[in-house]
Amino acid sequence: MPRPGGRQSYAAIDLGTNNCRLLIARPSGENFTVIDAFSRVVRLGEGLAQSGRLSDEAMERTLAALRVCADKLMRRNVYLARSVATEACRRAVNGPEFIERVRKETGIALDIISAREEARLAVLGCHVLLEAGLGPAMIFDIGGGSTELVLIESTGTVPRILDWQSVPWGVVSLTESCGPEGTTLEDRLARYRHMHGLVADSFAAFAKRVSPARESAAQTGPLRLLGTSGTVTTLASLHLELPQYDRRMVDGLIVPAESMRDISTRLSSMSLAERRELNCIGRERADLVVAGCAILEAILDLWPAARLGVADRGIREGILRSLIASHSTGRSLIAAADVQPLESRP
């Protein structure tokens, strides 16, 4: 096993409802340097809204991606890793059974984390991109199976979480729950309004709770809002009119909220075939991006900031910061069961 003080690498796996993502990094001062990464659309939650179960096809796709992750973990001589699963595995009746199968077949021990922990890790991973300012701010993560909203207050280090909410609407769950798009413009717009209404209703109690904080924040300066998800990075790419996705151009970008609304309106009126032809969307996201737009617009209604910060970082970066901090200081920032020494994997 590598000894403390050496050039150990750390890894984070985030298995979501739509994507499987891996990040491997080495400590670099107070930050870290990424040495390897992997991301694949696996659609683990496909069909979950109807059946309540992870399908055989979805599990096979996901296992194939996790085998790639396992190979990278071993080749990169990873010292500590934390691997988490989110909404799809939380909701599926066969979620725990799938987690055990992953452990046996790949050696990766996935931890099904709570929505609260998911929100905390997302904030930890992306808060540095929040615009400077005083008073409360909102950070959100639109996932495949759920969306997390976190009301925070900036501090000198990690923000203090004032309130949070997780709703079971992500780009996959909302798309599947609202059925096919239909064949006409009127069908598409009616479906989009229905999506927006479902999400707005699920946010209603949280919106009421954070109303005083929103009013307080508005008195101290512009409302601050930061989003991490494929939805916001895709829409930011469209705002920039990029020929292809470029993380360096998107991560940390500040976009006028009105531009994001305009793009959402345009996408919601387009057919699936038309969306597939757009740069930075393509076939993998074309059927899901409209649901993401509906969720984003509901968030902009709840927290009407004039500008939106865009983060291409989140849970994986939050995990890495926790792992590196706990190892370098000797203080456990996460439960010992969450940390898996790679050399002892079965």
Instruction: Compute the distance between CA of residue 136 and CA of residue 150 in angstroms, rounded to an integer.
Output: 10
Mean pLDDT of the region 309-335: 77
Residue-wise pLDDT for 257-278, tens only, equals: 999 999 999 999 999 999 999 9
pLDDT bucket at 53, cuts 50 / 70 / 90: very high
Flag whether pLDDT at 20 surpasses 90.
Answer: yes
The topology under which CATH files domain 9-113+316-344 is Nucleotidyltransferase; domain 5 (3.30.420)
Mean pLDDT of the region 126-137: 92
- Note whether 9-113+316-344 and 117-311 share their fold: yes
Summarize the chain as % helix, strand, coil (round to 5): 50, 20, 30
More confident residue, 279 or 145: 145
Instruction: Compute the distance between CA of residue 136 and CA of residue 344 in angstroms, rounded to an integer.
Output: 43
Backbone angles phi, psi at 170, to 5 degrees: -125, -175
pLDDT bucket at 134, cuts 50 / 70 / 90: confident
Cβ density class 43-80: b for 16+ within 10 Å, e for less: bbbbebbeeebbbeebbebbbebbeebbebbeebebbb
Mean pLDDT of the region 150-163: 90
Residue-wise pLDDT for 186-231, tens only, equals: 999 999 999 999 999 999 999 999 999 999 999 888 999 999 999 9
Q: Mean pLDDT for the chain? A: 90
Give residue 306's identity as a one-letter amino acid code. Answer: A
Domain positions in the chain are: 9-113+316-344, 117-311
Task: Give the percent of the chain with pLDDT over 90.
Answer: 83
Give residue 315's identity as a one-letter amino acid code. Answer: I
Give residue 170's identity as a one-letter amino acid code. Answer: G
More confident residue, 298 or 49: 298
pLDDT for residue 325: 83
Mean pLDDT of the region 140-147: 96
Overall CATH class of domain 117-311: alpha beta
